[in-house]
Amino acid sequence: MLHVLRYVTSFIDGRVRLRHPALRRHQVVAEIQPRILDIAGIRSAEFNERAGSLLLCYDPEILSRDDLIRQALPWASYLDGCLEGQPVLPPAGSPSGECKAAFPVHGKVCWRKMVNRGMLASLAVTAGSLVLGGKRVHVAAGAVFLVLAGMHAWRYRRSL
């Protein structure tokens, strides 16, 4: 992680500025700009080739600081590779709104969907088991619902 942070000159929620010598090359900027904009949660990417900098604006509700840094690791390696003459392009941005794996690494979009769907499913099981008389299932599904509702409330505590 320190590998990425050495290029960060300013980092506040929703906005980060990076400086890297490889960003002075038009060819590098042209290659990575559309790929960075494909990452879920990225609002804009403004490059300044003269200064070798990138101003990245992102949605902190979708992409947390930790997730942004995690996604920046392969990009930092790519930029270092450009300076050494051995660039290896990182994968295109994170999946746009769809979970590609059971436990996705990219962004908060998939996490949010999993929590919301889990709450809906556990609520349905709780109601169904109440009607059908399954007390243990009702209690277990209710507990799962409460845990997921707590995670949801914690995630959106600032807007509540």
Domains of the chain: which residue ranges? 2-84, 109-155
Q: Which residue has the higher pLDDT, 91 or 58?
A: 58
The rounded distance, in Å, linking the Cα atoms of 32 and 140 is 48
Tokens of 154: 């914690």
Residue 59 DSSP SS3: coil
The rounded distance, in Å, linking the Cα atoms of 9 and 6 is 8
pLDDT at 65: 85
Amino acid sitting at position 122? S
Res. 94: pLDDT tops 50: no
The domain 2-84: what is its CATH number?
3.30.1360.40
Residue whose entry in the numeric block shows the structure tokens 């080739």: 49
> Under a CB-based contact definition with an 8 Å cutoff, are residues 112 and 67 in contact?
no
Res. 45: pLDDT tops 80: yes
pLDDT at 159: 65
Residue whose entry in the numeric block shows the structure tokens 């790929």: 35
Please report which confidence band the pLDDT of residue 67 belongs to, taking 50, 70 and 90 as the band edges.
Answer: confident
> Under a CB-based contact definition with an 8 Å cutoff, are residues 56 and 31 in contact?
no
Averaged pLDDT of the chain:
79
